[in-house]
Structure 1
Amino acid sequence: MKRENHTAVGEFVLQGFSSFREHKIILFVIFLTLYLLTLAGNVIIVTVISFARHLHTPMYFFLGVLSTSETVYTLVIVPRMLCSLTGLSQPISLAGCATQMFFFITLAINNCFLLAAMGYDRYVAICDPLRYTVLMNKRACALLVSGACSIGLFVAIIQISSVFRLPFYDREVAHYFCDIRPVMKLSCADTTLHDIINFIISSLVIVVPMGLVFISYVLIVSTVLKIPSAWGRKKAFATCASHLTVVVVHYGCASVAYLKPKSENARDQDQLISVTYTVITPLLNPVVYTLRNKEVKDALHRAIRKNPLA
């Protein structure tokens, strides 16, 4: 009877930052600037890695894949968010919402497991350097990347199938993109089971790769501390600093966003957390890896010097 009392919803309207109407122009300028910096930074990283032969190593292969994934990830979400801030956007069809959610889930999970693969790469490089080229060959790297992507695709298909089977009674999504929780809130059905499944899946795709990274770094630290020279220890830790910085922020934001208890009165807080992992975190990748990584900076400087227009 409850379903019969509601007209079937054929599209959604993303409310965006309706709670910050008086700050829309400022937010638009800030987010557009961050978005352009993210795109430029990730494109530069991929380009430098592609053309600098000495960067054709597993570590930079994973970095290039991560930068590509982050670029597509922002393309899926940020342009529509910017349109909503200008008042140009509004309705999004159910198919469009499902598509956005599908790519968001796939790429977000892909990035989580890519960071775990990068942690494993650092573990092999420091703890088993003599077998590094054997263990981290091209086939192994390709398998790790395809595995990360496959997990993302598999989970996305499950969650999209689950969410969009629900009947919806409202079309106003209290968010700036089609995330799982805000969309499920519009359903007129009991979503308790869906909430439990969503929490379990979110926990697994965050905790499992985070645990793998943690184990890798425990083994790395125990190995590095056995290095007799202070210079050797410093050099070993330096090779991990950039990756560890990205890992802490990435998993930290994801944990706060998806593992914290639901709150009916925390819409603005949830949106600010979402901005962190959809806008800030993708920018962190190029910033950290260019500012803290000497090899990338040197390759970039050489590319600039070779450019006759520079």
Structure 2
Amino acid sequence: MFSNISSINFNTNQSVTSTSSKVTTSENTSIFGDSIVKDEKAKLTKEEKKAIKAAQKAERERIKNTPDGIIQGGKQGSSAGDCWLLAQMNSMSKTDWGKEALQNAITQEKDGSFTVHFEGAKKDIKISQDEFKKAQKNSDFSSGDADALLLEIAVEKHFKAENINDGSIKGNDLAGEDSLQFLLTGSKGLQTTQEQYYEPILQLMGQNPKDNAGIAATYTFFDKNQGPDGTSHVLSVQQVILDKKGKVKEVVLLDSYRPGVTFTKSYGQFASELQGFGFTTPPKLAQKGK
């Protein structure tokens, strides 16, 4: 379907601060439910407020320590360079096929260990509780979401076993057999820098906002605010907003350094700063297009 797209590989380096753009987040939305409508909040007693905070804390701990097949956090580590991997997770979680692939990827065994299944590589990655707990304290990995962390550990173990990217998840191609999409589904993603290809894909995503037309997309740009000299950084495309004529107006993005909120770039800014646009279509559709 998109086999004629010119592909360019990008390496991404570690980043240390969050992207500076207009933040647009709803006051009443949070994966932890900690944004309460002001009128309702004013009516709560001290005991009720205390109970809500306790429930929120318990939910954070559950998400942090227990995989549930849902990507809902996963803040990039301060010394990590795997924004590409977290962006792919977040993009997949916006599609129906991606949610299913993520849901089926991780199994917790009776002894407390974990098994991550890579359908594309036809292999299972075993992760012990000790490895999991150790990674939780390592800034080379993300924090806050057990699913995201276990996928990071599994991809790194796979890379080391197969001598891919020098065994490191820091800085990797956005597509091909080393991408998370391929590892979980067997379908290769594509990437391009050419507007004639990525603009109609964005339009298609905007026309089908429920699941972005089944397209998991990532966006690479040079972020001059990251580090002393700036660096390439990968974000997840969460939503595409069209104008009245059906043209791309804005692109809503998610930065793995700030997983709780999204921010918006105008299409003009998005296009002018773009270094790479990676995308994966639904696995069955991708196979038919070969």
Normalising by the residue count of structure 2, what TM-score does the alignment of the two structures yield? 0.29
Structure with greater Cα Rg:
1
TM-score for both structures, normalised by structure 1: 0.28
Q: Which has the higher strand share?
A: 2
